A and B are shown apart, each in its own frame.
Chain A
Amino acid sequence: KNEVEQSPQNLTAQEGEFITINCSYSVGISALHWLQQHPGGGIVSLFMLSSGKKKHGRLIATINIQEKHSSLHITASHPRDSAVYICAVAEGTYKYIFGTGTRLKVLA
C-alpha cells in the first residue's frame, strides 16, 4: 500500500462542475502540499497546508490531520484547469512523498 493515496486517478468533468480530489496518507507529516502539473512537466504549487482550510480563487484545499486526509476542490471548473493534480506530504523537514496524481480533464 502506498503511503500517499489519491483518488480518483482520472477524472473527466464538464465545464462548470464542482470537482473534488482526495488524498489520504499513512505517515506522520509536517505539511501537505497540493501541486498542479501541466503537460510539459512544470509543477506549480497550489497550496501548502498543515491544518484547516485554504482558499485561492476557485480552488479550496482542506486537511483533517486526525483522519490523515486532504481534499482539493475546484469550483466552476474550466478547461484551463485540465492538468495533473498531485498531493505531496512532507515527511519531516526534508522530503516529500508524492501521491500518484489525479489526471483531470475539463470539457468545454
Chain B
Amino acid sequence: KAGVTQTPRYLIKTRGQQVTLSCSPISGHRSVSWYQQTPGQGLQFLFEYFSETQRNKGNFPGRFSGRQFSNSRSEMNVSTLELGDSALYLCASSLALAGGNYNEQFFGPGTRLTVL
C-alpha cells in the first residue's frame, strides 16, 4: 500500500505570495491532519479534516486554511506569506474508524517551504 504523499517536496516563495500544498493520504484513510515544524516552535498542529469537514484547528492565524476533497486528498493554503512561515509542513493520515477512538497517524515526507 502506498504511503502518504505530499507535493511539492520543496517550495520557495516570496513574502506576500500565497502557496498551496497537497497531501494524498493512504488509501482508505479518511482523516488528514496538517502540522508545521520550525526550529523555534517544533511541531505544531494546524488542523484536521475528516469527510471534507474541518474537525479541529490549532492556534494559527486565518491565513492558514485547508480543505479536503471527496477522495480524502487534502490541500492547505497559506496566504500573504511571511518570513516566519518558512517551515516543514507535514501531513498525516489515519483511518478514523467509527466510534471516535484514537487511530494511529502515518506521516508524509513533508513539504519544505522557504519564504524569502
Counting CB contacts under 8 A, is B112 at the interface? yes
- Nearest neighbor of B37 in chain A, beta-carbon distance: A41
Q: How many residues of A contact B (CB 8 A)?
A: 24
- Nearest neighbor of A48 in chain B, beta-carbon distance: B104
Give the residues in chain A near B43, CB-CB below 8 Å: 86, 88, 96, 98
Interface size class of B (residues with CB under 8 A): 20 to 34
Whether B107 lies near A97 (C-beta < 8 A) is: no
Whether B45 lies near A41 (C-beta < 8 A) is: no
Additional pairs, 19, CB under 8 Å, beyond known A30-B101, A43-B90, A96-B43: A31-B102, A31-B104, A33-B105, A35-B107, A41-B90, A41-B110, A45-B107, A93-B101, A94-B48, A94-B55, A95-B48, A95-B56, A95-B58, A96-B35, A96-B105, A98-B42, A98-B43, A98-B44, A101-B42
* Cross-chain contact of A41 among B55, B88, B103 (Cβ < 8 A): B88
Measured in the bound complex, the distance between the Cα atoms of B101 and A52 in whole Å is 18
Counting CB contacts under 8 A, is B33 at the interface? yes
Measured in the bound complex, the distance between the Cα atoms of B42 and A50 in whole Å is 23
Given the known inter-chain contacts A43-B90, A100-B42, please indicate yes or no for A30 contacting B102, CB distance below 8 A: yes
Give the residues in chain B near A33, CB-CB below 8 Å: 104-105
Measured in the bound complex, the distance between the Cα atoms of B100 and A65 in whole Å is 20
Measured in the bound complex, the distance between the Cα atoms of B7 and A12 in whole Å is 34
Counting CB contacts under 8 A, is A57 at the interface? no
- For residue A31, give the distance in angstroms from its CB to the closest CB of chain B: 5
The digit string for B19-36, where 1 denotes a CB below 8 A from any CB of A, is 000000000000101010
Whether B104 lies near A45 (C-beta < 8 A) is: yes
Whether A96 lies near B45 (C-beta < 8 A) is: yes
Q: List 10 A-B contacts (CB under 8 A).
A: A30-B101, A31-B102, A45-B106, A45-B107, A92-B102, A93-B96, A94-B48, A95-B45, A95-B56, A96-B43
